[in-house]
A and B are shown apart, each in its own frame.
Chain A
Amino acid sequence: MIRIRAPQETAAGLFLIVLAVLVFWQTDDLAVGTLRALGPGMMPRLLASLCAICGIALVVYSLVKDGAQLERWSIRGPLFILGAAIVFGLAIRPLGLFVAGPAAVILGSMATRDSRFVESVVFGIGMTTFCWLLFKVLLSLPIPVAPWLLGY
């Protein structure tokens, strides 16, 4: 009876194998070339093969040797942190830092249960002001501040 003894290693190995398959699938139209003139497909496929070998080895090991459990994935953290980044990315051009900044901080703060809403609103406005002073006023980086209000 085959039993997974190290779920973390199994997952890691499977991830590598999937990655390798993805690379092979995406590069199937690229020339591998010859030794004298390596083609563009050579390195990606070579490296993908190496990844796959490591992946297979990890999976095999995970069936024979006891190892670490796969930790629980939290949803709250990635959802709000990465969500905040995506909102920032989408809002920075059209709406500017004065909207994207507080939005990112407030949304990001929700990633933990410890945060308090009023505090994060105040903090978001404060941090945005600080970043505006630092990056725009002091370092004059070309960041849109509030195009709808100021025109830049």
Chain B
Amino acid sequence: MEAFIGNLELGFTTALSLQNIALCFAGCLIGTLVGILPGVGPIATIAILLPLTFQVDPTGALIMLAGIYYGAQYGGSTTAILVNIPGEATSVVTTLDGHQMARQGRAGVALGVAALGSFFAGTVATLVIAALGVPLTKLALIFGPAEYFSLMIMGLAFAVVLARGSILKAGAVIFVGLLLSTVGTDLQTGDERLTLGLVDMMDGIDFAVLAMGLFGFAEILRNLDNPETRDVVQAKIGRLLPSKQDVKDCIMPVLRGTFLGGALGILPGNGAVLGPFASYTLEKKIAKDPRRFGKGAIEGVAGPESANNAGAQTAFIPLLTLGIPPNAVMALMVGAMTIHGIIPGPQVMTKTPELFWGMIASMWVGNLMLLIINLPLIGIWVKLLKVPYRLMFPAILLFCCIGIYSVNNNSSDVLMTAFFGFAGYAFYKFGFEPAPLLLGFVLGKLMEEKLRQALILSRGDFATFVTSPVSAGLLIVAVLVVVVAIIPTVRKGREEAFQE
């Protein structure tokens, strides 16, 4: 307990330095601003804003990035409520009742409840991360290469099952991501792999190049093909603060949502996606009058939004303690950390405690800031929603170009990104989701390394993956998840869940 408080204290002294508060504030503000813009989801937001952090020290950069992440997440919820367009899979559920509330002139209350619920969930999640950080890091130290490999297999299995669209395609996309990670010079033998003889490919495909190609350029191309009809709520926003009755209706859903979202977010597969769905289903089940749902029930906003935010934060746990990103956004954080010279994993906490705890404390500060920034500024956000796309996309294009160039000050990176932009466009036409690819790409190098290590340790015996009980358990879970998802009845349920 004493260590827990000491750690948090260290974190808060770091997070509350003038520079870091300013960075956190800037991150939250810009993240919300960009996240709210038409056609820019959280992944694209982080990818576009990455270069803003280059000149800052690693701690500050991560604090700012985390701020951008929450901001983008919150921006997604705002568009879900006001325009009926979810920024990301996790805010899909918010559109159901949130947008209905907005149509009834209660947009303000919906936004207010979302912000307050998220703040509460964020506070709890921050404490959970702080409490679980130390024990999980210890657990990570007993993980050998075989266990790590199996853990990543399990994570990818979850990512396949939880991706939208067909399981076969999600699996294929992950394989392509893993394949892309093998490009470049082989670390053990020095052989060039799949470089097509290009000098620029010798160091492998740059993470930023892939991310900006798939999520910066390809998204523009996708949006140009399918201009989304923005059904901006014309009704008044109304007052922001919920009434006493609203608060009473919301307390329990918020608590349940926080618990569900937080617990699912810890899973080293994209568990955070499940949180809002689970919370919504639960609230609907136990409601006295389930018919109100879908017609502007405040519980249908409060619960999922809390679950969303709790999951968004506890998703940091596998990343910070085990070094394994659970989803595409976290994969992007890995990329960002690597650019700043930090390899995510258990050693971050022991080697640079002020970075680790500072980032955790800044999560809470960031949540508080979102509350302060968002509610008064909602009028500006509504105006931003009306920016025409014909002005939006050239600006995004320019930002991406400058961003990619400045990662390595290498102009051929921009050309490579254009190539991946086209690949992303083709993927979209083929019906492949790009997010699992990014996850596979980030995990690929680590997986190959661990696989080789494990096989060297076991002298080439594959049994090492099943003789270790931890590794065997993880693999069994992975197989079960995929098998269960393939069974027809469950598949139907899954399709329905995604359609809802």
Contacts and interface: CB of A to CB of B under 8 A. Distances in A.
Do chains A and B stick together as partners?
yes
Given A11-B430, A38-B451, A89 B394 contact: no
Interface in A75-127: 77-78, 81-82, 84-86, 88-90, 92-93, 97, 100-101, 104-106, 108-109, 111-112, 114-115, 119-120, 123-124, 127
A39 B189 contact: yes
Majority secondary structure of chain B interface residues (helix, strand, loop or mixed): helix
Q: Which 9 A-B pairs have the closest CB atoms?
A: A89-B414, A36-B460, A35-B460, A40-B186, A54-B172, A12-B430, A85-B418, A88-B401, A105-B394
Interface string A16-49: 1001000100110011001111111101100110
Contacts of B189: 31, 39-40
Nearest to B180: A47
A12 B224 contact: no
A9 B431 contact: yes
A19 B176 contact: yes
A109 B396 CA distance: 11
* Residue of A61, A108, A123 contacting most chain B CB atoms (<10 Å): A108
B172 A86 contact: no
A70 interface: yes
A89 B411 CA distance: 5
Interface string B386-410: 0011110111011111100110010
Contacts of B455: 35-38
Contact of B406 (A12, A93, A111, A142): A142
Contacts of B459: 36
B225 A74 contact: yes
Given A35-B455, A61-B168, A77 B224 contact: yes
B191 interface: yes
A73 B191 CA distance: 38
A9 B286 CA distance: 40
14 contacts: A19-B179, A30-B186, A31-B189, A35-B462, A36-B455, A36-B456, A44-B179, A54-B171, A77-B220, A77-B221, A78-B221, A81-B221, A81-B397, A81-B421
Contacts of A71: 225, 429
Interface in B415-430: 415, 417-418, 421-422, 425-426, 429-430
Contacts of A89: 401, 405, 411-415, 418
Interface string B160-174: 000000001101100
Contacts of A70: 429
B54 interface: yes
B398 A92 contact: no
Given A109-B394, A124-B394, A92 B430 contact: no
B52 interface: yes
Contacts of B395: 105, 123, 127
B196 interface: yes
Contact of A12 (B390, B409, B432): B432
A106 B425 CA distance: 21
B499 interface: no
B414 A88 contact: yes
DSSP majority for the A interface?
helix
B462 to A, nearest CB: 7
A51 B421 CA distance: 21
Given A47-B179, A74-B224, A131 B414 contact: no
Contact of A78 (B171, B178, B193, B425): B425
A68 B431 contact: yes
B208 to A, nearest CB: 14
B284 interface: no
B182 interface: yes
Contact of B169 (A12, A30, A48): A12
Given A34-B460, A40-B189, A101-B398, A108 B452 contact: no
Specify which of A23, A31, A40 lies most central, judged by the most chain B CB atoms within 10 Å of its CB.
A40
A114 to B, nearest CB: 4
A123 B178 CA distance: 40
A111 B217 CA distance: 12
Contact of B217 (A39, A74, A81, A131): A81
A62 B399 CA distance: 40
Interface string A44-69: 10011011001101100100000010
A43 B406 contact: no
B194 interface: yes
Interface in B373-390: 388-390
A152 interface: no
B194 A23 contact: yes
